[in-house]
Amino acid sequence: MVRILVPLRQTVDANVVVRALPDGSGVDAQGAALVINPFDEIALEAALQQKEQGRAVEVVVASIGPAEVERALRTALAMGADRALLVRTQAQALPAAPVAAALLAALARREDAGLVLMGKQAIDDDLGMTAQMLAARLGWPQAMFAASLQLEDDSAVVVCEHDVGTRTLRLPLPCVVAADLRLAEPRFVSLANVMKARRKPLEVLDVAQVAELAGEALPAVAEPLRLLRVAEVRQRRQQQMLPDADALVRQLHQQGLWPQEES
């Protein structure tokens, strides 16, 4: 039976519409509630379900970032993860995807994970690249956009959403599976479990230590992509209210967006 590693990212709550800092140097997340990235939370739920069904021995969560990300890990422990790893960075910013992938690869090897289950994308940068990069680094097969997961003795059967329809993949273990929205529905955390989670093991590591431990070279450029400036997006639309469908059809007609009368 496998040990499942679930990498987590802490993000701003999905209900918050973030603003740009006045000088455009970044995103203003001051005071916004921080949560586990929703896709990672789904991945964690799916991992916990595998363990509860007796198909995994242990669920280990891991996060990379400043000390604050411990909160996300504690929440994950309260949801039911067995232990947590925190790779602490000096910088406030979360690491670039290639760096995160290298560090997670080192952790996956150290933990002898049979499956890495993670979110397909983080809802802050909306990048959606880390799972694939991690799989490539490990040389493990990957299943993106997972909508269902079935673990067998030495393989995983994953139904993946796709541009059109779905595809069912059978992957040998170890492998990387990236969760889409419908893989699982995250459970609520009870207060009792929050208390229990305080006593679960949470190991703090630093970046150099992790890189060294599996002989993973970190990318030569730590910040291969630099955020130059950000701005808020304003939709400029007419916002013209119409009384009924007849008025709408007249408008669409004018715009060439309604079928012309056939004779």
Ligand X SMILES: Cc1cc2nc3c(=O)[nH]c(=O)nc-3n(C[C@H](O)[C@H](O)[C@H](O)COP(=O)(O)OP(=O)(O)OC[C@H]3O[C@@H](n4cnc5c(N)ncnc54)[C@H](O)[C@@H]3O)c2cc1C
- 19-58 positions binding ligand X, by CB under 6 A: 38
d(CA 88, CA 93): 11
Contact assessment for residue 6 and residue 59, using Cβ atoms and an 8 Å cutoff: yes
Residue 32 found at the interface with other proteins (CB under 8 A): no
Q: Among 68, 162, 198, 209, indicate the residue that binds other proteins (CB under 8 A).
A: 162
Residue 241 found at the interface with other proteins (CB under 8 A): yes
Choose between 18 and 123: whose C-beta lies nearer to ligand X.
123
Q: Which does 127 bind (CB under 5 to 8 A by kind): other proteins, ligand X, none?
A: other proteins
Closest of 187, 174, 192, 163 to residue 113, by C-alpha: 174
Q: For the CB of residue 57, give the shortest distance to other proteins in the complex, in Å.
A: 23
Q: Among 17, 191, 192, 208, indicate the residue that binds other proteins (CB under 8 A).
A: 17
Residue 91 found at the interface with other proteins (CB under 8 A): no
Which is it for strands 115-119 and 83-88: parallel, antiparallel or unpaired? unpaired
Q: Among 27, 123, 147, 194, indicate the residue that binds ligand X (CB under 6 A).
A: 123
Choose between 77 and 180: whose C-beta lies nearer to other proteins.
180
Q: Among 53, 166, 190, 209, indicate the residue that binds other proteins (CB under 8 A).
A: 166
d(CA 107, CA 7): 10
Choose between 203 and 223: whose C-beta lies nearer to other proteins.
223
Closest of 4, 111, 7 to residue 58, by C-alpha: 4
d(CA 234, CA 250): 27
Contact assessment for residue 232 and residue 19, using Cβ atoms and an 8 Å cutoff: yes
Q: Which does 196 bind (CB under 5 to 8 A by kind): ligand X, other proteins, none?
A: none
d(CA 142, CA 147): 14
| 70-79 and 38-52 helices, crossing angle to 10° | 30
Using the contact rule CB under 8 A, the part of the chain among 48-56, 60-68, 69-77, 174-182 near other proteins is: 174-182
- Give the residues lining the site for ligand X (CB under 6 A): 14, 38, 123
